[in-house]
Amino acid sequence: MHPARIIARKRDGHELACGEIDDFLHGFAQGSIPDYQMAALAMAIFLRGMTTEETAALTDAMLTSGVRMEWPDDGRPVVDKHSSGGIGDKTSLILAPLLAACGMRVPMISGRGLGPTGGTLDKLESIPGFRTDLSLGEIHETVGRVGCVITGASAEIAPADRKLYALRDVTATVPSIPLITASIMSKKLAESLDALVLDVKFGSGAFMKHIDVARKLARSLVATGQRMGVRTTALLTDMNQPLGRMAGNLVEVHESLACLRGEGPADLWECTRALAAELLIGTRGSGLGDREGEAPAEPEKLLDDAISSGRALAKFAEMVAAQGGDLDRLSPMPAGTDVIADRSGFVSAIDAEALGHAIIELGGGRKVMTDRIDHAVGLEMLIRLGDEVRAGQPLVRLFGSPDQVAHLPPHLAATISLADEPPSLLPLIAERIE
């Protein structure tokens, strides 16, 4: 292998061979390719792009830099969901036990808060004792016994991705569709999945502000997953306002519990159920709900049953206990301070990213990786897009000490635009990509 020649070929817009990508990435993971050559290649990939074939090879190289999970060949499907992240996005907390309650294995590897969006692991750590650092052995054992787990990536999973991500962060090569695709998919495919669904969010509270970019990423993720033999679909979902009412850590756990009891906000359940249904459809024929000779059950019905029967909630409690958490010691919902509308009108736009930054300011997220999180802070949306409000009506409830709230930037109300006319509303689930 001649690394500079491989870099030059990508620089000049050529398609790299799978073997070239594999050699380069393994060399990088093992240290024989230095950071500066990987940085030059990453920038060339950023500016020249990659075909699906190349992206799949990159994903595979990162995946095979580490270990893959192994599951018994017992027909029980292994599934997972990945979200591109958004304010108030707590679907993972509901979806993993929900699908486990439907008989699936859900070995969910999650992440921490990134920029203004919260992280599933941070949210779960609001539960006293909850461990997010399970070993590979513990993941296998817990998924086998409980059906699901939500934990951080162990060091054995796609180490090349970890190394490359750290490098991309300091070389301005993060927002590249093939590099994002390989980073997401290498970790997810290390779970040895039968089906994967991607929740690709767009709007004011998502990394991608416009649906076009979200669609591009979704297509790349789906094509790469399919190319690698995993049934993969994606939903493009609207993130122009927080998902559900709660945003923060502890308050999102409370809202997830409400949703698992069948008492959550409609949008949160709609989104979670649609994502879960993709995985039921994706693994149809695996014997779940559709017995030989019977017509397959409607996936939505299976999911509604898992909630109404209390099985999904019980599964969540089981998972929490298996990961060392103690739900009995969960702090109650904190008291809040309301932000008041200074005029009347229809809610026409919500700057969800600014709300995410407000949570960080309160102490609920990190400005630098070493910051400690105050899990109790957060906010509750008291209105939704399209609502008619009157001057003096509360818009947002802030959770935090008076001192924390006093330190927020003024004019938080300005993150919610009020107009004389009602806005046209978008559907929550904008598109499905398969």
Number of residues that bind its own copies (CB under 8 A): 25
- By CB neighbour count within 10 A (0-12 exposed, 13-18 middle, 19+ buried), where does 213 fall? middle
Is 86 in contact with 76 (CB distance < 8 Å)?
A: no
Nearer to its own copies, 161 or 199 (CB): 161
Catalytic residue among 162, 168, 315, 357: 168
| The only residue of 15, 19, 47, 114 in contact with its own copies, by rule CB under 8 A | 47
One symbol per residue from 152 to 171: x for binding its own copies (CB under 8 A), - otherwise; what is it?
---------------x-xxx
**Helix or strand run (H / E) with residue 348:** strand 345-350
| The only residue of 43, 99, 200, 381 in contact with its own copies, by rule CB under 8 A | 43
Give how far the C-alpha of residue 380 lies from the chain's centroid of Cα atoms, to the nearest Å.
20
Q: Which stretch binds its own copies (CB under 8 A): 36-44, 240-248, 259-267, 383-391?
A: 36-44
> Helix 211-227 to helix 52-63 angle, to the nearest 10 degrees?
70
* Neighbouring residues of 412: CB distance < 8 A, sequence distance ≥ 6: 339, 354, 358, 396, 398
Is 45 in contact with 168 (CB distance < 8 Å)?
A: no
Nearer to its own copies, 5 or 329 (CB): 5
Nearer to its own copies, 16 or 102 (CB): 16
| The only residue of 83, 151, 173, 204 in contact with its own copies, by rule CB under 8 A | 173
**Shortest distance, CB of residue 7 to its own copies, whole angstroms?**
4
> Any catalytic annotation for residue 123?
no
Kindly state the tokens that stand for 197: 């669904």
**Shortest distance, CB of residue 318 to its own copies, whole angstroms?**
43
> Any catalytic annotation for residue 187?
yes
Q: Which stretch binds its own copies (CB under 8 A): 3-11, 111-119, 294-302, 406-414?
A: 3-11
Nearer to its own copies, 169 or 434 (CB): 169
Can you count the helices (H) and strands (E) in the chain?
A: 16, 13
Catalytic residue among 82, 215, 315, 397: 82
Integer CA distances (angstroms), 5 to 12, 19, 34, 50, 235, in order: 10, 13, 15, 17, 39
Does residue 35 touch its own copies according to CB under 8 A? Answer: yes
> Any catalytic annotation for residue 82?
yes
**Shortest distance, CB of residue 47 to its own copies, whole angstroms?**
5
Cα 196 from Cα 216, distance rounded (Å)? 17
Cα 304 from Cα 230, distance rounded (Å)? 26
* Cβ count within 10 A of residue 189: 26
Catalytic residue among 10, 90, 163, 187: 187
Does residue 206 touch its own copies according to CB under 8 A? Answer: no
| The only residue of 18, 26, 37, 287 in contact with its own copies, by rule CB under 8 A | 37
Catalytic residue among 23, 122, 161, 267: 161
Does residue 36 touch its own copies according to CB under 8 A? Answer: yes
State which amino acid sits at residue 226.
Answer: Q
Give how far the C-alpha of residue 405 lies from the chain's centroid of Cα atoms, to the nearest Å.
28
Nearer to its own copies, 176 or 220 (CB): 176
* Strand spans (E) along 222-301: 231-238, 246-248
Cα 145 from Cα 216, distance rounded (Å)? 38
Is 429 in contact with 271 (CB distance < 8 Å)?
A: yes
Q: Which stretch binds its own copies (CB under 8 A): 35-43, 151-159, 283-291, 389-397?
A: 35-43
Nearer to its own copies, 165 or 346 (CB): 165
Catalytic residue among 92, 110, 154, 183: 183
Does residue 372 touch its own copies according to CB under 8 A? Answer: no
**Shortest distance, CB of residue 165 to its own copies, whole angstroms?**
13
* Cβ count within 10 A of residue 307: 22
| The only residue of 172, 340, 391, 425 in contact with its own copies, by rule CB under 8 A | 172
Question: Which residues here bind its own copies, judged by CB under 8 A?
Answer: 3-5, 7-8, 11, 34-40, 42-44, 46-48, 167, 169-173
The residues that are catalytic are 82, 161, 168, 183, 187
